[in-house]
Amino acid sequence: MKRDTLGAFVPGTEVELAGAGAGPLKGLSFAAKDIFDVAGTVTGCGNPDWAAGHAPAAAHAAAVERLLAAGADLSGKTITDELAFSLNGQNPHYGTPTNANAPGRIPGGSSSGSASAVAGGLVDLALGSDTGGSVRIPASYCGLYGLRPTHGRISLAGVMPLAPSLDTVGCFARSAEPMTRAFVALFDQPGPGGSFRRLLRAEDGFALAEPAAAEVLAPLLRRLEAIFGAAEDMTVAPEGGGLADWVEHFRALLGGEAWASHRDWVEARGPLLGPELAQRFEWAKGIPEAEIAAARDAREAIAGDLAERLGDDAVLCLPTAPGIAPRIDAGEEALLDHRYRVHRLTCIAGLARLPQVSLPLASLDGCPLGLSLIGGPGTDEKLLALAETLETPEGPAA
């Protein structure tokens, strides 16, 4: 493993495993977020009390096993926000991994160490999880390719659950082609072939972008239009309160499921939690069951509607985040407001169980900024192929 100059890896946990002697990922290195089991190593989940109270894993997480079998070498376990329940990447126990491509700014979470390690060149690939944006947002902030797959396409065996109906296994890379190879190894079954034929522009998604961010993303939309023709404007959440309502359904599901996943441990052990996580659990345990049930019903309607509108031939374009990564020294209130605005974008794919790829093709004030593409259920491979097309110099120009 390369020397960790970024604070990306879990302190005191050195894990190096050689991959299979041959395979599509031979010669590549990867890291695993510290919610993925690695046999013989304690899965710490970003909290020292969790690490102290759990025995070493008996087996590798399925995703770790898949990458090793494909020939990639495991180079370490990376820092995560506590119990993967944040979007900032600032762990109160282990520190904030460095964002090599936006110095002085947060890397994004909860897959902070994984994004930091890839952006800083310590590994070629890194496993993360995405429940509410924990791959897509660090990818945008750190200038990486990152995919949240269709919910259920990649096994979560051996991965700490946060909100199971939202949890997915994701991956980071500095370029699109190795990320595609990684996901081919990770998918349980291959998806359908073909390509997208229609381009949709999320009007309400772009309305959430800061004006300067929308401006620098505009040329990327023109690149997409060079492939598909003029984009069709689409209001993603057309009824009622729009995305402001959708994010409340998302928050109810996330909070309710997170508390259900960890209530027994929190109440039995009384662990030392950072202030952000302690406040979040205090909020989560008070969510009425009726609100969670209503959110489940709304979610099914949302998922069905978007699956019908996208089909298997349309790709939806939107900003990954409202803007660039906030500064590390941003105040608590500013970070909470930013988190809420981010979730209004990330809740779309989460509620609808859809795949979403973030492309590191824009920058603002010298910092990375991602553009996202969402496809219909199971169109992950089409998104990855489109990402490769947009990355190549000979692809459609701005």
CATH code (residue 145): 3.90.1300.10
Mean pLDDT of 366-373: 98
Same domain, 151 and 102: yes
Whether residues 102 and 172 share a domain: the answer is: yes
Residue 24 lies inside a defined structural domain of this protein = no
Q: Does residue 376 share a domain with residue 313?
A: yes
Residue 396 pLDDT: 45
Q: Apex CA 140: angle with CA 324 and CA 132, to 5°?
A: 105
The residue with greater pLDDT, 58 or 334, is 58
Which of 16, 8, 40, 185 is closest to 111 using CA atoms?
A: 8
pLDDT per position as a tens digit, 202-249:
999 999 999 999 999 999 999 999 999 999 999 999 878 899 999 999
From the CB of residue 331, how many other CB atoms can be counted at a distance below 10 Å?
Answer: 10
Residue 280 structure tokens: 């979040």
- pLDDT band at residue 21 using 50, 70 and 90 as cut-offs: confident
On whether both 255 and 382 belong to a single domain, the answer is: yes
Left (φ > 0), alpha (ψ -120 to 50) or beta: where does 196 sit?
beta
**Residue 10 in domain:** no
What's the total number of domains in the chain?
2
pLDDT tops 90 at residue 308: yes
Task: Check residue 374 and give its pLDDT.
Answer: 98
- Which residues participate in catalysis according to the annotation? 33, 110, 134
CB 147 within 8 A of CB 384: yes
Do 133 and 226 have their domain in common? no
Each residue of 16-41: b (16+ CB within 10 Å) or e?
Answer: ebebeeebebeebbbbbbbbbbbeeb
Domain membership flag for residue 260: yes
Which comes out higher in pLDDT, residue 335 or 46?
46
Instruction: Evaluate if residue 394 carries a pLDDT over 70.
Output: no
CA distance 174 to 334: 29
Residue 97 sits in the same domain as residue 210:
no
Give the domain-ending residue among 186, 216, 238: 186
Q: Which of 126, 156, 186 is the last residue of a domain?
A: 186
231 with 321, same domain?
Answer: yes
User: What confidence tens digit (pLDDT) does each residue in 310-329 have?
Assistant: 999 999 999 999 999 999 99
Q: Are residues 295 and 178 in the same domain?
A: no
Same domain, yes or no: 236 and 368: yes
Question: Do 163 and 308 share a domain, yes or no?
Answer: no
- Residue 149 counted as domain residue: yes
- pLDDT per position as a tens digit, 117-160: 999 999 999 999 999 999 999 999 999 999 999 999 999 999 99
| Last residue within a domain, chosen from 165, 186, 207 | 186
Asked if residue 125 lies in contact with residue 172, where contact means CB atoms within 8 angstroms, the answer is yes
Residue 192 lies in a domain: no
pLDDT tens digits, 158-217: 999 999 999 999 999 999 999 999 999 999 888 888 899 999 999 999 999 999 999 999
Q: Which residues of 196-230 are buried (b: 16+ CB within 10 A; e: fewer)?
A: beebbbbebbbebbeeebbebbeebbebbeeebee
Contact present, 108 and 129 (Cβ < 8 Å): no
Amino acid identity, residue 390? L
**Is 397's pLDDT higher than 70?**
no
Domain that holds residue 275: 198-391
Same domain, 162 and 241: no
Asked if 224 and 138 sit in the same domain, the reply is: no
Tell me what the mean pLDDT of segment 249-254 comes to: 98
| pLDDT at 125 (0 to 100) | 98
Q: Is residue 5 included in any domain, yes or no?
A: no
